[in-house]
Amino acid sequence: MQERQGLTDKEKHDRQERTSDAARALTDIERVAREAKTARLREQRLKAETALPIASAPKPKRIGKPRSRSS
């Protein structure tokens, strides 16, 4: 009985396609995870930017007669 020495061209091609499909699927999963993280960080940044001007706005200056200080 003769043992097989290697893979045929078709088997090599099929194996390469399966590997490529797996790599493509993994790449897609990683891309979706990156996009989700980017969206989450963008949302946090926008919330922080909209809250910042209100909190750091200077107090309005009083216009008119100055208050007299009692000693």
Q: Tens of pLDDT along 26-63?
A: 999 999 999 999 999 999 999 998 886 655 666 777 77
| Total residues found in the chain within this entry | 71
pLDDT, residue 60, reads 72
More confident residue, 64 or 56: 64
Q: How confident is the model at residue 13 (pLDDT cuts 50, 70, 90)?
A: very high
pLDDT, residue 1, reads 46
Distance CA 44, CA 37 (A): 11
Distance CA 53, CA 47 (A): 11
Nearest to 10 by CA among 25, 2, 18: 18
Q: What does residue 51 show for φ and ψ, rounded to 5 degrees?
A: -80, -30
Distance CA 34, CA 24 (A): 15
